[in-house]
Amino acid sequence: MNMGETALAESLERLGERPMILKRLALIAMVKQDVNTARVYLGALSKTPFHVDWANAYLKLLDSGADLSTDKRVRHLTSLTMENDYGFTGYQPERILLDLLDKNRYNHLAFEYLMAWYLLTSQLDKFVQNLHRLDDFDYPQIPPLYEQAILVHQVLTGKKVDLKGRQISPQTYDLAHRFSIISTSEDATDRLTAMRLTLRDFGDSYLFYFNFGDLGIAK
Amino acid sequence: MKKHCFYISAFAAILLLSALLSYSLPTRQLRVMDEYVSVDKAPRIRPDYTETFIPPNIAPLNFLVKEPATQYLVKIYSTTGDTINVFTKTPAIIIPIRPWKKLLTANRVGKLYFDVYARNKTNQWTRLKTITNTIANENIDPYLAYRKIRSVHSSWKRMGIYQRNLQNFDESLVLNSRFHGGVCLNCHAFANNRTDKMAIGFRSSKYGSSALLVEGGTAKKLGTKFTYTAWHPSGRLVAYSYNKVNQFFHTARSEVREVVDLDSLLAYYLCDSQTVKTSPNLSKKDRLETYPAWSPDGRYLYFCSAPILWSDRDKVPPQHYDEVKYDLLRISYELEKDQWGDLETVLSSEDTGLSILEPRISPDGRWLLCCMSDYGSFPVYYQSSDLYIIDLKSAEQTGRFNYRRLDINSDKSESWHSWSSNNRWIAFSSKRDYGLFTRSYFSYVDEQGKVHKPLILPQKDPAFYDSCIKTYSVPELVTELVKVRPETFGRLIRSPRKIAVDLPVTMATPRPEAPPGYGPYQERE
């Protein structure tokens, strides 16, 4: 919430008093139970032509002294807010995302950002350690990029990852097999050639990203 | 042509008729309002102008009645003079300035009453309980200089120093972004509540970090950075702090922003010789010195000082930043000899358990007003920051600097206070009513040092603060307008010419920080 507030305060200064920014800042203030700040943002928003009703509805709610947690949006955002306070100067994704998941293990966005962060930074040990969190969400199957990363981890460590009954799809095995054949073929004389050979069919895969440290062209 | 004249005459007649009607309407309605029901309920008004002490020269305290009604009548009266009747269909009570001034002037040390009547949908008038305020005997300094800035985090585009005529609603510009293309304006400081000697610090990636100094109405630029500044009462020197300021953020605290001085010292600029000096006691290697304030006789420099708790003076946030507590010290000074005496501890953070910051002494030398907060150096960001007062006269007699927390504190941050030239008023910043948005308040200080319930800086539109997303900080009371024009300040900032002065390099000299634009998180209220 505080990082959002910082980003929005920056936007407000750079872009001006845009309703979209004021609206979010008002919401953040209400999530933080800072009624006086929320009132001012809502007051500013109530002077804009298309958001006056939204602002006035919340001002009325604040005037009534009602518990803000009765508001669905505020309650939802409150459930996602970090409680662990510490000082920061820049974005520290891993620590913040883990704190968010500590607060609310069902914070889907925090989970996906965390896993994406591990994949982007090739921290596959940590990625694998957090696979158990898949159980907290409603995934019909393991996301394909995760499956590819699991296979990469298995190859690197020589250890099978416990997927708690989940299965890696035959398509991913097949993709990995084909990628392995092409990237290790005689034609792939060096890294650049291997990259070129796999670019078309595997450019949007994690296998490609992990091996070449770049994103290819989607098929 | 005749047709044209006819239209003009007709338009003028309509205007005149409207004016007459609007003038007579309240009287007619007042007759209707002879019947009303009195209720034992105080009206809710915003801003809260109830039970306060009012400067007799203040602009009208326009307010909103926060009671549902279809019409309102507010009668404003005192012991002598005509009652002011404000009749309106909206909750905004706009008080005419001339009768207001007349009423206040005629009733110094008297009570000022607001009788609020409200009419409901069934045309029933209700009279609510009378609101009472007290008109002080002493005027407040007629002008207030403050910095207006949004509640910024890392960067800023628009900020400015403004001056407000407290006797009406006129606000004029001292300096803003239009004239300097985006430099960061730091604290402004005046000598003896006058503007003929003043200073403004600024930082810029383009123009460097310098100070603008006004002496005798002439402005110049110094080649040194001022952070917090205090003019010697003689006007012959300026003490200032040189701070390596850094800002960072909190992940979960209500106030996101935090400021820490990684290093700091005090120095002083001698106007006649155009030199900068410091003293070993003002610039200890293992301590952070900041917030200078002169005693009105010029014999003591008060300041705040804390031990440096971190070994790495570049790391942000530094270790134990939330354990730093500043003591209040003073050091004697002989102007003619330019000689510093011994260092004394006025108040120790060990005794108070709190960090003591922003000392300001009343012009008669009787009272020292300061902030105390749980830790740190930047009270405006600390919810725990409260105002405290020390009776210096009593301390001279007893040798003990007893401090007292003011009754007017709120559960939010109070900071950035200044004294009026007649010792009877203080201006300060507070977050008590508008959350993140700092506003300026005034309080009356009686001869016993009792500080009375504050009132917010009045605005013409009583709903102004409800949607104003700018903060009003560093309110400085002054007796006259700043005479140097914004264009002149702007030209000076942009000009390469400046008085070359070098900060004496000591073991304690902080390394120059990167100017804004190169290093993030430098801005603050």
Mean pLDDT in residue range B488-515: 74
Q: Are residues B43 and B131 in the same domain?
A: yes
Q: Using 50, 70 and 90 to split pLDDT, how confident is the model at B154?
A: confident
Question: Is residue B92 domain-resident?
Answer: yes
Residue in A closest to B250 by C-alpha = A87
Residue with tokens 């200080």: B445
What CATH number did the domain enclosing B148 receive?
A: 2.120.10.30
Mean pLDDT in residue range B11-36: 56
- Give the model confidence (pLDDT) of B427-445 as tens digits: 999 999 999 999 999 999 9
How many domains are there within chain B?
Answer: 2
Per-residue pLDDT, B22: 46
User: What percent of chain B clears pLDDT 90, i.e. is strictly above it?
Assistant: 80
Q: Are residues B224 and B360 in the same domain?
A: yes
Domain ranges of chain A: 2-80, 93-212
Q: Are residues B164 and B46 in the same domain?
A: no
428-467 in chain B: CB under 8 A from chain A:
431, 433-437, 463, 465-467
Question: Is residue B489 domain-resident?
Answer: yes
**Do B467 and A46 count as a contact with CB atoms less than 8 A apart?**
yes
Q: Are residues B375 and B267 in the same domain?
A: yes
Q: What string of pLDDT tens digits covers the 219 residues of chain A?
A: 999 999 999 999 999 999 999 999 999 999 999 999 999 999 999 999 999 999 999 999 999 998 998 999 999 999 999 989 999 888 789 999 999 999 999 999 999 999 999 999 999 999 999 999 999 999 999 999 999 999 999 999 999 999 989 999 999 999 999 999 998 888 888 888 998 899 889 999 999 999 998 665 544
Q: Is the pLDDT of residue B505 over 70?
A: no
| Beta-ladder partners of B472 | B148
Query: Rounded to a whole number, what is the distance in angstroms from the first to the last CA of chain A?
Result: 37
Question: Is residue B23 domain-resident?
Answer: no
Whole-angstrom distance, CA of residue B423 vs CA of residue B296: 12
Q: Are residues B350 and B477 in the same domain?
A: yes
Whole-angstrom distance, CA of residue B304 vs CA of residue B114: 44
Find the Cα–Cα–Cα–Cα dihedral A22, A23, A29, A34, rounded to 10°.
Answer: 90
Spell out which residues of chain B touch residue A6, defining contact as CB-CB under 8 Å. Answer: 153-154, 249, 256
Q: Using 50, 70 and 90 to split pLDDT, how confident is the model at B520?
A: very low
How, if at all, do strands B159-165 and B143-150 pair? antiparallel
Range of the domain at B74: 34-135
Q: Which of B135, B170, B192 is the last residue of a domain?
A: B135
**Do A13 and B157 count as a contact with CB atoms less than 8 A apart?**
yes
Whole-angstrom distance, CA of residue A27 vs CA of residue A81: 12
Given CB atoms, is B155 within the 8 Å cutoff of chain A? yes
- Which of B255, B312, B465, B469 to mutate against chain A (most A CBs within 10 Å)? B469
Q: Nearest by CB to B152, which of A13, A35, A37?
A: A13
- Which of B467, B471, B513 to mutate against chain A (most A CBs within 10 Å)? B467
Strands across the sheet containing B339-347: B287-294, B300-307, B327-334, B339-347
In single-letter form, the type of residue at position B492 comes to L
Dig out the tokens for B173 from the structure: 């510009």
DSSP secondary-structure letter at B452? P
Q: Nearest by CB to A2, which of B157, B249, B436?
A: B249
Whole-angstrom distance, CA of residue A157 vs CA of residue A149: 12
ipTM of the complex: 0.90
SS3 B243: strand
Dig out the tokens for B36 from the structure: 């009303």
Q: Which of B106, B135, B164 is the last residue of a domain?
A: B135
Q: Give the count of Cβ contacts less than 8 A between chain A and B.
A: 107
Question: Is residue B341 domain-resident?
Answer: yes
Residue in A closest to B520 by C-alpha = A89
Q: Are residues B65 and B196 in the same domain?
A: no
**Do A40 and B468 count as a contact with CB atoms less than 8 A apart?**
yes
Those residues with Cβ within 8 angstroms of residue B191's Cβ, 6 or more apart along the chain or in another chain: B197, B198, B231, B232, B233, B235
Q: Are residues B82 and B216 in the same domain?
A: no
Closest-CA distance of chain A to residue B182, Å? 12
Question: Is residue B16 domain-resident?
Answer: no
Whole-angstrom distance, CA of residue B493 vs CA of residue B225: 13
**Do A40 and B465 count as a contact with CB atoms less than 8 A apart?**
yes
Given CB atoms, is B310 within the 8 Å cutoff of chain A? no
Q: Which of B135, B166, B183 is the last residue of a domain?
A: B135
Q: Are residues B231 and B349 in the same domain?
A: yes
Residue B455 contacts residue B49 (beta carbons within 8 Å): yes
Spell out which residues of chain A touch residue B256, defining contact as CB-CB under 8 Å. Answer: 2, 5-6
Q: Are residues B243 and B123 in the same domain?
A: no
Those residues with Cβ within 8 angstroms of residue B21's Cβ, 6 or more apart along the chain or in another chain: none
**Do B434 and A38 count as a contact with CB atoms less than 8 A apart?**
no
Q: Using 50, 70 and 90 to split pLDDT, how confident is the model at B514?
A: very low
Closest-CA distance of chain A to residue B302, Å? 31
> Closest Cα to residue A89, out of B314, B471, B438?
B314
Given CB atoms, is B36 within the 8 Å cutoff of chain A? no
Spell out which residues of chain B touch residue A89, defining contact as CB-CB under 8 Å. Answer: 248-249, 316-317, 520-521
Q: Are residues B398 and B250 in the same domain?
A: yes
Q: Are residues B179 and B79 in the same domain?
A: no
Residues counted in chain B? 525
Q: Nearest by CB to A87, which of B317, B468, B469?
A: B317
**Do B251 and A86 count as a contact with CB atoms less than 8 A apart?**
yes
**Do B435 and A3 count as a contact with CB atoms less than 8 A apart?**
no
Spell out which residues of chain B touch residue A2, defining contact as CB-CB under 8 Å. Answer: 249-253, 256
SS3 B144: strand
> Closest Cα to residue B147, out of B492, B457, B470, B479?
B470
Burial class (CB in 10 A: 0-12, 13-18, 19+), A4: middle
- Give the model confidence (pLDDT) of B335-393 as tens digits: 999 999 999 999 999 999 999 999 999 999 999 999 999 999 999 999 999 999 999 99
**Do A14 and B157 count as a contact with CB atoms less than 8 A apart?**
yes
Whole-angstrom distance, CA of residue A136 vs CA of residue A113: 15
What CATH number did the domain enclosing B85 receive?
A: 2.60.40.10
Q: Is the pLDDT of residue B126 over 90?
A: yes
Per-residue pLDDT, B406: 98
Residue in A closest to B246 by C-alpha = A89
Per-residue pLDDT, B488: 95
**Do A32 and B254 count as a contact with CB atoms less than 8 A apart?**
yes
